[in-house]
Amino acid sequence: MATEKLVLDLTLVLPHVPDERDSCVERLISLLKSEHIDQAHIVREDDRAQLCLHYDSARIGLAEVRQLVTAAGASIDKRYVHESLRIEGMDCPTCATVIEHALGRLEGVLEAKVSYAAERLRLEYDSEKSSHRAVVHRIEALGYRILTLEADAGWWTEHRELVFSFAAGVLLLGGWLGGLAGAPYAVSLGCYLVAYAFGGFFTVRDAVQSLWAKRFDIDTLMLVAAVGAALLGDWAEGALLLFLFSLGHALEHSAMDRARHAIEALADLAPKMALVRRDGAEVEVPVEELLRGDVVIVKPGQRLPADGKVTEGNSAVDQSPVTGESVPVDKGTGDLVFAGTVNGDGVLLVEVTKLATENTLARMVRLVSDAQTQKSPTQNLTDRIERVFVPVVLIGAGLLIAVPPLFGFPFAESFYRAMAVLVAASPCALAIGTPAAVLSAVARAAQRGVLIKGGAHLENLGRLTAIAFDKTGTITEGKPRLTDIVAFGATENEVLALAAALESRSGHPLAQAIVAAARERGLRWDEPADVAAVNGKGIRATVGVQHLEIGNLKLFEGEPIGAEVTAQVERLESAGRTTMLIRADGRFAGVVGLMDTPRTGVAAVLIALRSLGVTKTVMLTGDNARVARAVAQAVSLDDVRASLLPEDKIAVVADLVKEYGQAAMVGDGANDGPALARATVGIAMGGAGTDVALEAADVVLMSDDLGKLPFAVGLSRAARTIIRQNLFIALGAVALLIPATLFGWAGLGLAVLIHEGSTIVVVFNALRLLAYRTRPKAGVAS
């Protein structure tokens, strides 16, 4: 059987699929596994997800395979639709649940996750069973509206609740003043009735939606209380209840809009138009029409319209919108640049490498928006509490209405107190406190070049006491240099040429350092054949007629090495060098030594982490123990685990999780993928421009700067503190008001005032995270 391999860019096969973990990729692979396609799987090459196909070329040709893949991808892409929609009109967390339940019952909808805090719906549906129109129709039937993600909701949409509330307040005041002035009762009653209409407009709408979805929420409770006050003839108190409730909601929404706008502002960083050189002329085109390979012209002071590579020019580029770096970065020919960053004083010609929907900024916005649909553990807990608590409150209120009159208590008084208890026990602040904090923290992190992919990761990051770091490229610069060549019966250049021939096929930093040193000396070598990488140990290959091997001592375990070779390895390693042994046709030709220096500022980062409560820091490396200890001592790490294979790193991380309950792993997102996945929180560095880091980790530091880690941990700890404070405020208000209303110490008006006040307090408390900079004391955001 003549087996051939074809590798295709996944984004070309499934252009609308967000990443390789999507279920559509599994559908594609299953569809392609026919008698002619032996194997189909996902690989990563050049930092991009690729579809790798193995097929029998004796039975099917390359053109037929391409046609088969194209047809299968088009079929799946057309049938399974992914959408991210913005929903206008939600005014409480229950609205999100109502929409999820309604869409979940719609045939063909495979996933529907709604974030009230971010006003976002993440949707996947089977277009053969459902449609965009059916989804929109179902949402609009509930009383909500779909907006485009870029749409401005408009002044009226954003402020109408405040206007209605203000009108209700004015009419309430008019009715009260009319009564004081001795006006006919009909005048005051008319004012109260219209105040009911304005104050209760959105409450009635939301209560009806909740009841239609067979759920009871705060709007239902408030409406029942207002109707109860009217039945008792206390129109003024009922109007006051609805006014205060609508005012609280309006202020809460205004505050939440501030956090939403912080995220939406990211999308506005990229320019709408680009100056591009086509057919010898310079033309302006929308950024959505840019193609890979286009050359855009970026003048001084302009924002870059696309991710790309500088082909001509030199300039300092402000990358803070994407990476959070405070100092502009010098860019020249060959350097990568990102959409949304700001050009300095020079003119840059940039070759576009990513489409507008694929660039780093677009992916940041998408990931941050999707993060809002992922509930945190605390939010899941409060949701469970609310599902039990609200029915219990309704049953209790019913008993409070029915039982006391049986023992001679006045019905009107019993009914009034039941209404007040309903208001007092409404868990509105409990429901909004956590998502508001998560939204604010994720937005603030994104502003500083840190992506936190959901509330669960935010909370887990805030609990950490142990962090493991990969050595190369994380603790160290990741740019080792060749320092020593020891030859046995050959010249240094001959040893280096043999090493370069083998390492030319590897992307590892050590391999790149060897190849770079060989090129600096002008050395040449033949291309290797039959290359076999031994994971974590080295490489074997054939170069010309020679069988060559290069690797660390583990590659040659169980084989005689010789006293001279061993002595040279020990000498170099005792000096802090990483060693690689070169063997040709069974005889050792030499040893090379390399050194990778610690990053500037790593010691300060570790000190900052300890001040935040991280008690255990461990460095993981496949390097030898002597080199590892030298690096660890230089930056004051607590512990070091050396000579690890990739699977050993996973085991170490698992042990840390078991010992400390929570443990993070920090790496580059590519070589450390399995260890990142095993950690409680996987943290990838250098996310800007790298698809691997953006997809592999729970938290992404967009810049190649470990200094962002204390900020991320401090922000997460501050967020957890604020979430606990919000829970205390919400539960405290309920615990205070229930006995106060039950025993008649507080009436409806005071209950609503405290209830809405507590809701507003938790929202504004959460918004403090938008201003988070440093963390001078545990649990305090500044």
Q: Which residues are annotated as catalytic?
A: 470
Please state the separation of Cα 40 from the chain's center in Å: 29
Q: Which residues pair with 109 in a beta bridge?
A: 125
Q: SS3 of 22, please?
A: coil
Q: Indicate the pairing of strand 587-595 with strand 145-147.
A: unpaired
**164 backbone dihedrals φ, ψ, rounded to 5°:** -60, -40
From 395, 427, 459, select the one nearest 731 (Cα to Cα): 427
Question: Is the distance from CB of 774 to CB of 742 less than 8 angstroms?
Answer: no
Stated length of the chain: 782
End-to-end CA distance of the chain: 67
How many Cα neighbours within 13 Å face the side chain of 448? 25
Q: From CA 64, how far away is CA 164, in angstroms rounded? A: 64
Please state the separation of Cα 546 from the chain's center in Å: 49
Give CA separation, 687 vs 20, 391, 443, 537, in Å. 17, 46, 17, 27
Contacts of 168 (CB under 8 A, 6+ apart): 195, 196, 198, 199, 239, 242, 243, 246
Name the helix (H) or strand (E) containing 187: helix 185-212
Q: Indicate the pairing of strand 663-667 with strand 546-551.
A: unpaired
Handedness of CA 433, 435, 438, 442 (dihedral sign): negative
Question: Is the distance from CB of 515 to CB of 501 less than 8 angstroms?
Answer: no
Question: Is the distance from CB of 679 to CB of 696 less than 8 angstroms?
Answer: no
Q: From CA 535, how far away is CA 519, in angstroms rounded? A: 26
DSSP3 helix / strand / coil % (the chain, rounded to 5): 50, 20, 30
Query: Which residue in the block uniquely carries the two structure tokens 């959409």?
Result: 339
**Which stretches within 372-508 are classed as H helix?**
377-406, 411-425, 428-447, 455-463, 492-503
Residue 536 identity: G
Q: SS3 of 182, please?
A: coil
**469 backbone dihedrals φ, ψ, rounded to 5°:** -120, 135
Q: Indicate the pairing of strand 348-352 with strand 295-298.
A: antiparallel
Question: Is the distance from CB of 499 to CB of 543 less than 8 angstroms?
Answer: no
Give CA separation, 107 vs 102, 103, 112, in Å. 10, 8, 12
**572 backbone dihedrals φ, ψ, rounded to 5°:** -70, -40
From 475, 456, 472, select the one nearest 662 (Cα to Cα): 456
Q: From CA 554, how far away is CA 552, in angstroms rounded? A: 5
